[in-house]
Amino acid sequence: MKQSVNQLLNFFKNHKYGKPSLILLIIGLVAVGTMSIRSMMQEEPIALSNVAAAISAGRVVRIEELQGSDTLIIHYKDGTEDTTRRDQSTSFLEQMQFLGVSKSQMAKLEYEVVQSKMAASDKIISTVISIAMLGMMGFAVTRMGGGIIGRKKFVEGAIPNLSFNDVAGMDENREELVDIVAFLKNNQLYERIGARMPHGVLLAGDPGTGKTLLAKAIAGEAGVPFFSTSGSEFVEMFVGMGASRVRSLFKKARAKAPCIIFIDEIDAVGRKRHGGGGGGGEMEQDQTLNQLLVEMDGFAATDGVVVLAATNRVDVLDPALIRAGRFDRHVTISRPDVKGRVSILEVHVKDRKLAADVNLMDIAKSTPGLVGADLANIVNEAAIIAVRGGNEVISVLDFQEAVEKSLIGGVQQKSRIISESERRTIAYHEAGHAVVMHATPHSDPVYKITIIPRGQSGGFTMALPEQDSILMFRNQIMARIIGLMGGRVAEEIFCHDITSGASNDLQVATQLAEDMVMRLGMSISGLRVFQRHEVGGSQAGQKTFEALDKAINEILDEGYQEAKRIVTEKRDAVERVTQALLAQETLSREEFVALM
């Protein structure tokens, strides 16, 4: 209770809207309290029959009727008062006569209609409460609309303290953006020969490849202000608010020129416009995009404003946004190769203590396909593991554990109790994978085998490519499918039964086979490429679906039969690897090759 009270007091004290909220709350409490006290102080009205008896007895001298009310105030000769209520459908005189009061007795009384003091104060209180309620509703609406009053939807940051030296693994992309820096530093150099710098640069790439970092490095290298925002900040439920924010952002940027405007996840606001109208949300998105298009057309090359935008969904952007004259230059940021990964690791280990046995090239080779964000996380995880183990430096074992945690998921569950039969089955399963991969041409080399559970897997066999490649050959894909089938085949041959352990293997193999048939044209079904929504729909008939299904099954069956042949021929090798795994749980590449 005390903690809740302290949190409430801190909100009223520190929050931007704390004081207005406190004032409205106090006004409401005072109004409610006043009305409650007045209702408690009001006397209980007496019956009309008692009033009639008092008039007949000559004890009443004056009666006041409150205007617009059924309440009467009775004044007695002794100076006391009472209140009563009457039926407003008939006059007070008729009601008294019905109760036995004569006209002569009524004529002796003073009868007056007066204005109620309480009614006037009630109106004031009602007005105050109404104003307070309107204020609270307005506050709620502005908060629901994103806080448009006094809230900037962009970060007007200082010059970033980053430079191109802090960006690694994208040397070619960096060279492509060097002229942007030169333009921001001295645009007169370009004016002399009539060159115009791009209005906008679109950075496209997978998540985590460093698009935001690169944009900040450009601003830091050029030494200009950096306006950062997100595409979702312009999306509102009220039509016109997003467009207003776009105008405000560009107006502020022009005042600070030369500068950079960075819009992250621009696909949130730059999606293709809706045809044929639509609801309020669609109208708002279209108006916001239209305003962005107008603003990007509205400044000249000499204004010193460059718009950078980042997205991983170029396919959904409106063609009018990405055309020449707006986003003139498109920079694709690819996943780093092994050389780029080494450079990225060097940046992230700069301020960390490493053991002498750490080789960054080996770590880079063990992380194919990972991006800068993944590598930064691996370095951080390795440091955490080192601290957890009580070490002063980060060793190669810490990096290995961090890499496996990133690629496989989860931590090693060495204390997990597994029955001997399950442990033996897992060992045969992983040995089947390893032996089949080793014996299949075009397959990636086996890097590590373990039967220690990690995450949701009972064990794993890690195979890593010797070098990065841009193309994937059919033989390589088939080799991977054959390797994935090795675990199920080993279970069938050595355990005389099959388990659920191959579920993920079969899922990945099926996905690869579907890609070969439907997306890559690598099957007997032909060269036609199908989108997933076409299969089973109106654009693909039943015969086409059956042909695709048959081609996929043939690929899977071919992989399974080849894996079965290898395991049968190398039965002794599978047995040796299995016994080694049961004895020491984990095999390195060198230990595995020695057993083969």
Segment 71-119, tens digit of pLDDT: 777 888 787 888 887 777 777 777 777 777 777 777 777 777 776 665 5
- Averaged pLDDT, 227-234: 80
Question: What tokens were used for 458?
Answer: 């009972």
Q: Does residue 301 register a pLDDT over 60?
A: no
**pLDDT tens-place string over residues 37-79:** 555 545 577 777 777 787 777 788 888 777 767 777 788 878 7
- Tally of residues, the chain: 596
Q: How confident is the model at residue 556 (pLDDT cuts 50, 70, 90)?
A: very high
CATH number of 420-595: 1.20.58.760
pLDDT at position 150: 40
Split at pLDDT 50, 70, 90, the class of 149 is very low
Q: What are phi and psi of 503, to 5 degrees?
A: -60, -45
Q: Where is pLDDT greater, at 531 or 480?
A: 480
Q: How confident is the model at residue 510 (pLDDT cuts 50, 70, 90)?
A: very high
Is the CA virtual torsion 514, 520, 523, 528 positive or negative? positive
Q: Which residue has the higher pLDDT, 70 or 536?
A: 70
Considering the domain 48-108 in this protein, what is its CATH number?
Answer: 3.30.720
Give the bridge partners for 181, in sequence order.
none
- 140 versus 353: the higher-pLDDT residue is 353
| Backbone angles phi and psi of 82, in degrees to 5 | -140, 160
Residue 200 has pLDDT above 50, yes or no: yes
d(CA 219, CA 183): 12
**Would you say 205 and 333 are in contact if contact means Cβ atoms under 8 Å apart?**
yes
Domain boundaries along the sequence of the chain: 2-41+120-144, 48-108, 155-333, 338-407, 420-595
* pLDDT, tens only, 448-490: 888 888 777 778 888 888 887 888 899 999 999 999 999 999 9
303 or 278, higher pLDDT: 303
CB–CB of 179/222 below 8 Å? no
What is the chain's alpha carbon radius of gyration, rounded to the nearest angstrom?
40
Give the per-residue pLDDT at 49. 77
- State the alpha helices, DSSP H only, in 42-177: 48-56, 92-98, 103-107, 117-144, 171-176
User: Quick check: 14 pLDDT over 70?
Assistant: no
Distance between alpha carbon 373 and the CA centroid of its chain, in Å? 16
Mean pLDDT across the stretch 351-357?
A: 87
Q: Average pLDDT, stretch 320-338?
A: 85
| 8 Å CB contact between 226 and 262 | yes
Please tell me the distance from the alpha carbon of residue 66 to that of residue 175, in angstroms, as a whole number: 87
Average pLDDT over residues 231-240: 65
pLDDT per residue as tens digits for the range 572-595: 998 998 899 888 888 888 888 888
Return the DSSP state at 47: P
Reported as type and span, the H/E element at residue 204 is strand 200-205
Most confident of 151-165, 166-180, 234-248: 166-180
Structure-token pair, residue 570 = 């190398």
The CATH class for the domain spanning 338-407 reads mainly alpha
Please give the pLDDT value at position 525: 76
Cβ atoms within 10 Å of 252's Cβ, excluding its own: 16
pLDDT of residue 18: 61
Mind giving me the DSSP string for 268-288? GTSBPPPTT---HHHHHHHHH
pLDDT of residue 209: 85
Helix and strand element counts for the chain (H, E)? 23, 13
Is the pLDDT at 206 greater than 70, yes or no?
yes
pLDDT of 144 reads: 47
The helix or strand, by DSSP H or E, that contains position 81, with its residue range, turns out to be strand 81-85
* Cβ-contact 339, 436 below 8 angstroms: no
Higher pLDDT, 503 or 126: 503
Is residue 148 scored above 60 in pLDDT? no
| 167-178 pLDDT per residue, tens | 888 877 777 788
Q: What is the pLDDT of residue 566?
A: 92
Residue with tokens 């070098």: 467
The model carries a pTM of 0.67
Mean pLDDT of 326-354: 87
Q: Where are the alpha helices (DSSP H) in 256-358?
A: 280-298, 319-322, 338-348
Per CATH, the number for 155-333 is: 3.40.50.300
**Predicted local distance difference test score (pLDDT) of residue 135:** 64
Q: Which residues are catalytic?
A: 430
Closest CA to 554 of 582, 514, 585: 514
Q: What is the pLDDT of residue 160?
A: 77
Backbone angles phi, psi at 466, to 5 degrees: -75, -25
- How many Cα atoms occupy the beta-carbon half-sphere of 70 within 13 Å? 8
- Which ranges of 223-279 does DSSP label H, i.e. alpha helix? 241-255
Distance CA(278)–CA(421), nearest Å, equals 62
Q: What distance in Å separates the CA atoms of residue 34 and residue 221, rounded to the nearest whole number?
A: 65
pLDDT band at 32 (very low <50, low <70, confident <90, very high): low
Question: Residue 291's pLDDT band (boundaries 50, 70, 90)?
Answer: confident
Q: If DSSP codes are grouped into helix, strand and coil, which group holds residue 141?
A: helix
Mean pLDDT estimate for the chain = 79
The rounded distance, in Å, linking the Cα atoms of 481 and 560 is: 8
Contact (CB, 8 A) for 253 and 200: no
Q: Which of 5-19, 205-219, 243-257, 356-370 has the lowest mean pLDDT?
A: 5-19
